[in-house]
Amino acid sequence: MKQFWPLFKKELRTYFTSPIFYIVGAVFLALTGYFFINSIINYSRMGIQLSGSGNPIENFNPTTVVMKPLFNTMGTIFILLTPLITMRLMAEEKKARTMELLMTSPVSITAIVAAKYLAAWIIYSIVILSTLYMPFVINYYSSVVWTQIFTGYLGVLLLGASMMAVGLFCSSLTDKQIIAAVLTIGILVIFWFIGGVLGSASEELTRIMRGLSLFAHFDALTDGLFDLRDIVYLLSFSIVALFITHRVIDMSRWKG
């Protein structure tokens, strides 16, 4: 991990001095804000309707009805926003030939990968955690199940860890940001929907596909289920993607 800090500081500074971070943040907050208000209105309407029916519905509380769908929305929005954060990470270094500076300095590839990855994930986390006002607003007027809020956010942050790793990997494959972006979206869409579209296939296959799906593991966490297997899956997904990224960068040295 030689020279991790200077690289990490540089990456973070690049995010904060470029407009992309602010644009991603603004778009994300606007979208989630819209869905948040929508869910709240929906929740109160359903509340009024249900109060007349006399049949209590299981799990009818703001955490499940408002926050859980919002966590899903956050994940879905970030399928599209992830490349905006990650596409330049390696592609730009190659395009601007600054890779030559990094690779001829006493810097390890591990440090380069780790610094870029962590910086991207921190940017992602800042954007995600800026929605923390939502549970507090709900809690002010009603009440939330804080443990579920916690596992929900943990799920979103771990999902982001996987998404950033995929983005960084795609960025290491090319010197064109747009190609990195399209690849990232492609891979994320596959891993997001892989578990959901196989209803007609055999049960065994569906089970395997669900096991591979990012969404399935993330979904369990937003339900408030703290299962170590989901956490291990999301973490190992990231580590594998980062390992491949390391190999790709190392191999590109041989090709010149």
Partner 1 sequence: MISVNSVTKRFGERVAVNNVSFTVETGEIMGFLGPNGAGKTTTMRIITGYMPPTEGSVRVNDMDVFEHPYEVKRIIGYMPEHPPLYLEMTVKEYLRFAAELRGLRGQRIKEAIDRVVELCGISHVFNRLVGNLSKGYRQRVGLAQALVHDPEVLVLDEPTVGLDPRQIVEIRQLIKDLGKDKTVILSTHILQEVTTICDSVTIINNGKVVASDKIENLSRRFAEKLSILIRVRRPEVIDIDKIRAIEGVENVQWSDEKSLRVYLSADVDIRERLAGEIFSMSAGLLEFRTETPGLEDIFIKVVTEELNVT
| Contact residues for partner 1, defined by CB under 8 A | 2-3, 5-7, 10, 13-14, 17-18, 96-108, 253-256
For partner 1, the closer CB: 95 or 176? 95
- What is the smallest separation between the CB atom of 29 and partner 1, expressed in angstroms? 25
Which residues are CB-neighbours of 27 under 8 A, at least 6 positions away? 81
Min CB(12)–partner 1 separation in Å:
12
Of 185, 181, 163, 161, nearest in space to 171 by CA: 181
44 vs 98 by CB, closer to partner 1: 98
Residue 100 or 227 with smaller CB distance to partner 1:
100
Closest approach, Cβ 96 to partner 1, in A, equals: 7
Q: Are 117 and 71 in contact (CB under 8 A)?
A: no
Q: From the CB of 121, what's the least distance to partner 1, in Å?
A: 21
Nearer to partner 1, 98 or 147 (CB): 98
Half-sphere exposure of 65 (CA within 13 A, CB side): 20
Give CA angle at 91 (86, 95), nearest 5°.
145
**If you count them, how many residues does the chain have?**
256
Report the SS3 class of residue 252. Answer: helix
